[in-house]
Structure 1
Amino acid sequence: MNDSPIPNTTHTLSPLSNAIVDKAIDNVTRKLVGGARNKNNSLPNSHKATISTSISDTLNATSSDSVMAVANRGVAWKEMIAKSLSHGISSLSDMQFDGQFTVKNGIAEGLHQVPATPGVYVVYDKNNSAVYVGDSNNIRRRWHAGHLNENKQKLDSGEQYKLSDQLTEGCTVKFISCESKETAAAIEAHLIKEAAPEVNAREELLQEQGTRSNIEAKKMKDASGSTASLAAGAAKEAASNVGWSVLESLITACLKALKDELVDIVGGGEDKLKIRIKRLFSKIWHVIENIVKHPGTLLKGIFEFIVNAFASAIRKVYQLARNIFDLGYAAWQLYKGAKTLSKAELIQKISETIITSGCLVIWDALDPIIEANLIALFPAITPFAPYLAATIAAIGFGISSHYLSGVVPLIVEKIIDFKFTAQLSYQQQVSACEQLVSNAEKSMVLVNGLEEYLQSSKELIVDLKAQTATLKQHQAISAFSIEDRLNSITLGTK
């Protein structure tokens, strides 16, 4: 293999233009990948799905709504697991319901208390046997405008409705409320498969499905049976999210590399095709190397899946979860390398993190709003709205990033300078305190020496006094002896 260096492109866009184009590539790729993941299956059970049909389905699903739906896919799995723990949805025999109402002679009692939400309902006949399981996006409306109305119309025309006997003789309808229609459809299909009620004609979600809602519901229905199997299904879906995240990264890297080569060609670059291809694959391989060297980036897909499943506020801003992960990961890498960075490098890294994360959060949140308003104002451009919105958001991102790049580093530098000044001041204060402590220690030593000196002086004085007293005593004795001798001499003379 030839290890000769690969020449860099000689012609590039300006930094602002390059940032705008790169962001547009990111936005469009994200929507296209979201469309591929959220597309309907227009040819279910087909052994030869054509490429043109798959492309058409993907383009029809390419929108901010599709990306949001993909990001929120963990919600239904979370609810299925929660219902398995709280309601025992694995089996009708031990299922716990949210409420019930009764029907007799075609008249319902208590139906007004049923929530107008998605859910699953089970019809029990007068012998308390489960005879029918159904689901609906709106349980109350399904019974008002559906079962009760259809039963009345059939009876008026002399026909037999599938639930006529139960609705006439009397039945109890028990229900479970759900957050999503996918959860309701999955629970219904699992219960029909498990209990095989006599009125249900066939098993639901048995074959390959066509609509995206039913495709996702079938995944959960197939994983139902126990909380553990549902958790395994959710883990598999999270792993799938990781794979799609990596694929999206590779696609964007490839498109950006192609963009660089096209800019060089248009600008008059004369590199040979072999060099361009080698350079292209080198950039793609660099992305793969980064993933291998930093496996923590693979957690992005799992993080997005879990956060969107459990945080309804973040779920509403579908891209925020990914941006939060990027910000946290960048901050962690910055923290680990901060001690080895120079002041200039630290300012640059902190500024990039602040500018990129801040602008991404703002413009990724505005992207679906821009798209929705474009469709509302100009219905004719609906097929192109996702791409126009992606471009507008990219321009906004580029301009705001360019402006902030001239402001944020100055602020960061001031903060860092203040930090360094404060640290220096703190160090000086510590040194001053240490010097004061040292001086105090020396003073204590001096005081202790003076105390010892005074003690020894006191002892010397006491000793001198004792010596003086002794000398005085000896002097007194000596004087007395001399006086006696003088007196003796005087008496002898006389």
Structure 2
Amino acid sequence: MTDNTASADAAAPAMAHALKTLPPLADQIVDKAIDNMTRKLVAGFRNKNNAKPNAKSTDYAAEGKEAFKAASAESVMQVANRGQAWKELVQKSLSAGISSIATLRFDGEFKITGGQRPDGFDNIMPSTPGVYVVHDDRTGKPVYIGDSENMRQRWHAGHFNEYRQGQRPSGERYKLADEFENGCTVKFIKMDSKESAAALEAHLIRESNALDAGMLKNKREELLTEQGSRSNQEAKKLKDASGTTASLVKGAAGEALKNVGHDVFQQLTTAAIKAVKDELIDIFAGGKAKIAARVKRLLTKVFAVLQGVLDDPLKLLRGLVEFIVNALSKAIGQVYNLARNLFDIGNGAWNLYRGANTMSREELVRKISETVIVSGSLVVWDALEPVIESHLGMLGPFAPYVSCAVVAIGFGLSSYALQKIVTRIIDAIVAFKQGFLDSMEAARAACEQLVRNAEKELEMMADLRDYVASTMEVMDQMRAHTATLSLHRSIQPLDVHTLLSKRSQA
């Protein structure tokens, strides 16, 4: 009695300090909003511009302002698609020889003579990102290297227009006027993004100046120092890793590992925010836990996420999978969160498969229903989020945050609505499967019984065979004895009738 009383007394404070939470649907909606917000803010931090390039100290206010400004679905998509540029440069390093101008295999070329734009120029020069190299026809050497997000527009509004303006009496002579008038050949290579184009241009300028400092008219090395725009920051990373395929692969691997680190950081940040949310709700609901207990609960939840990542290596690889999938497939990359959701669905399915045999039917139905409903809703609503955000453009900088709330509400309501329907369907499927398995088990047991009966019959057949063999052996022995007796002629056969008659006379 004493032990039970002590246990009850010990449990009383714990029950009194139990965490008070929101209703399940409201809690699910708030958690989804936190997930969306954290993902956007982490992406905004990664995709922010450099407020003060090459500054000796960091302006945290400006950095924070830029991070909030960059927290949009478009920004998150750009972060997710960074693997594309690395994949492209690695691929072109193998197939197009981009390590130097001498080995570079171009996609096309056109000639300029007498300063005149060539006929059919719009059909030759594509309106895509790319890099172009102007070669002097007299020497055959490159004299200018440029890049553009739209090469056709760059030549129309830039080079050709600047040359015409330089021909006016009051105009300044264009830097490539001699080559345009005496004859030059422009060769170009198409790129997938402006970042990869800027990186290749900077790399080629650096390599060309290293070989012959006076060869190019644009002698200044591009992307030499820390850049302010996010596009140039990414291009600088690519340029610094350029040179060989091995160095590009190493750079891509480094970026993939950074993606893993940011993914883990996002998980931990999300867990911390949700833990703070739970404590605030508990406080407003009248919870009496002390500060120390609240801090301990918060840290326990954060460390639980970290422990879960360490215990399940697949979770640690989620960021790597996202980077690789987006690098390999531009279509998947355009739906920025699809790669991560697909990984989570696969990981959840694998864990269900591993634990299915140890779960009760009710638990299995609940787990499968949660996986189907949550994962399916995530894929749909995360794909809709950029569309919703784009239609909230009139809200300006508030659009990303309002879209987070809209998506969270939609996710919560759709999950709630699907819960009963999907659970019934899953339960029916599991019940059918269970009945099928039961019938299979009964059939297997019947087969095993038939096998056991057959084995016993075989044993009886073996015993009967041994009996027949022993009987045959006895009969053989009797034949042998009979044959032996028949050889002794002196032995008269016993006449029973004669014996009886002699006995009567006596």
Q: Tell me, in whole angstroms, the C-alpha distance in 2 between the residues paired with 1:418 and 1:125.
A: 77
Give 1:340 shift.
Answer: 2.2
- What is residue 212 of structure 2 aligned with on the other side? none
1:78 matched to 2:91? The reply is no
Q: Encode CA deviations 1:94-139: one digit per residue, 9 max, x unaligned.
A: 1111111111111225532222111000111012101110001111
Aligned to 1:169: 182
| Map of 2:249 onto structure 1 | 231
Q: Look up the match of 2:389.
A: 371
Contact 1:9–1:261 (CA under 8 A) maintained in structure 2: no
SS at match of 2:216: coil
Q: 2:432 aligns with which of 414, 418, 425?
A: 418
- Give the distance between the partners of 1:28 and 1:59, measured in 2 at CA: 10
Displacement after TM superposition at 1:152 (Å):
1.6
Report whether the alignment pairs 1:202 with 2:202.
Answer: no
Which secondary structure does the structure 1 equivalent of 2:144 belong to? strand
Once residues 201 and 230 of structure 1 are traced to their aligned partners in structure 2, the CA distance between those partners, rounded to angstroms, is: 24
Instruction: Name the aligned partner's letter for residue 425 of structure 1.
Output: S
* Aligned pair partner of 1:327 in 323, 345, 360: 345
1:179 maps to 2:179 = no
Q: Is the 8 Å Cα contact of residues 135 and 185 (structure 1) preserved in structure 2?
A: yes
* Change over 3 Å in CA distance of 1:384–1:455 after alignment to 2: same
CA drift at 1:413: 2.0
- CA distance, structure 1, for counterparts of residue 63 and residue 444 of structure 2: 70
1:427: Cα distance to partner? Answer: 2.1
Hey, what's the Cα distance between the residues in 1 that align with 2:15 and 2:74? Answer: 41
Residue in structure 2 matched with residue 90 of structure 1 by the alignment: 99
| In structure 2, C-alpha distance between the alignment counterparts of 1:54 and 1:7, rounded to whole Å | 44
The answer to whether the aligner puts 1:340 opposite 2:352 as a matched pair is: no
SS in 2 for 1:11: coil
Confirm or deny: 8 A CA contact 2:17 2:288 kept in the other structure. no
For residue 156 of structure 1, give the secondary structure of its aligned residue in structure 2: coil
Give the C-alpha shift of residue 6 in structure 1: 11
Partner of 1:189: 202
1:114 corresponding residue in structure 2: 125
Cα distance in 1 between the residues matched to 2:298 and 2:51 = 36
3-state DSSP class of the match of 1:94? coil
Percent identity reads 52
Does the 8 A contact of 1:102 with 1:109 survive in 2?
no
Q: Secondary structure at 1:133's aligned position in 2?
A: strand
Deviation at 1:415, TM superposition (A): 1.6
1:147 is matched with: 159
Against the structure 1 CA distance between its residues 8 and 248, is the aligned structure 2 distance closer, same or farther, given a 3 Å change threshold? farther
Cα gap change, 1:277/1:6 in structure 2, threshold over 3 Å: closer, same or farther?
farther
Give, in angstroms, the shift of residue 275 of structure 1: 2.2
Q: Could you list the per-position Cα deviations for residues 35-54 of structure 1 after superposition, in whole angstroms to 9, with x for gaps in the alignment?
A: 11111123222222322111
One-letter identity of the residue aligned with 2:64: I
> For the structure 1 residues 278 and 441, does the alpha-carbon distance in structure 2 shift closer, same or farther, using more than 3 Å as the test?
closer
Of 58, 65, 68, which residue of structure 1 is paired with 2:74? 65
**Aligned-partner SS, 1:360:** helix
Q: Which residue of 2 aligns with 1:484?
A: none
Shift of 1:461: 12
| Alignment partner, residue 486 of structure 1 | none
Write the letter of the residue equivalent to 1:155. Answer: Q
Q: 1:458 and 1:271 mapped to 2: Cα distance?
A: 94
Q: TM-score, normalising length from structure 2?
A: 0.85
Deviations 1:169-227 (A, max 9, x none): 00111111011010000000000011024211411111111111111001100111111
Question: Does the 8 Å contact 2:17/2:289 carry over to 1?
Answer: no
1:156 deviates by 2.3
1:47 to 56, 61, 77: 56
1:255-309 deviation line (CA, Å, top 9, x unaligned): 1111111111111122222222222222222222222222331111111111011
**CA RMSD after TM alignment:** 2.9
Corresponding letter in the other structure for 1:41: N
Residue 449 of structure 1: CA displacement?
8.6
CA change 1:447–1:274 in 2 (3 A) is closer
Q: 3-state SS of the aligned residue for 2:420?
A: coil
* Counterpart secondary structure, 1:405: helix
1:389 corresponds to which of 383, 398, 403? 403
Alpha-carbon separation, structure 2, partners of 1:361 and 1:142: 39
Change (3 A) 1:291 1:457: closer
> Do the aligned partners of 1:101 and 1:110 also contact (CA within 8 Å) in 2?
no
Please report how far the alpha carbon of residue 454 of structure 1 lies from its aligned counterpart in structure 2 after TM superposition.
Answer: 10
CA contact (8 A) 2:73 2:400 kept: yes
How big is each residue's C-alpha offset from its partner over 1:50-92, in whole Å with a ceiling of 9 and x where there is no partner?
Answer: 2211111111111000000000011011111111111111111
- Find the residue that maps to 2:51 and give its secondary structure: coil
The secondary structure found in structure 2 opposite 1:93 is: coil
Aligned to 1:19: 28
Report matched runs for 1:284-303 at 5 Å. 284-303=302-321
Verify: 1:138 aligned to 2:150, yes or no.
Answer: yes
What is the distance in 1 between the residues matched to 2:64 and 2:15?
Answer: 35
Are residues 442 and 397 of structure 1, via their aligned partners in 2, closer, same or farther at CA, if it must alter by over 3 Å? same
Asked if the contact 2:17–2:287 (Cα under 8 Å) also holds between the matched residues in 1, the reply is: no
Contact 1:103–1:109 under 8 Å retained in 2: no
Q: What does 1:341-360 correspond to in 2, within 5 Å?
A: 341-360=359-378
Q: List aligned pairs for 1:443-482, cutoff 5 A.
A: none
The count of aligned residue pairs is: 471
Q: 1:346 to 1:402 in 2, by over 3 A?
A: same
Distance 1:36 1:342 in 2: 44
Q: Which amino acid aligns with 2:447?
A: C
Residue 240 of structure 1 corresponds to 258
Cα distance in 1 between the residues matched to 2:86 and 2:340: 19
TM-score under structure 1 normalisation?
Answer: 0.87
Q: Which runs of 5+ in 1 are unaligned?
A: 465-477, 479-494
- Determine whether 1:29 maps to 2:38: yes
Contact persistence 2:256–2:320 (CA under 8 A): yes
Contact kept in structure 2, 1:77 and 1:230, CA below 8 Å: yes
The 1-side partners of 2:380 and 2:293 are apart by 39
Shift of the 203–8 alpha-carbon distance from structure 1 to 2, 3 Å rule, reads: farther
Contact in 1 for aligned 2:205/2:219 (Cα 8 Å): no
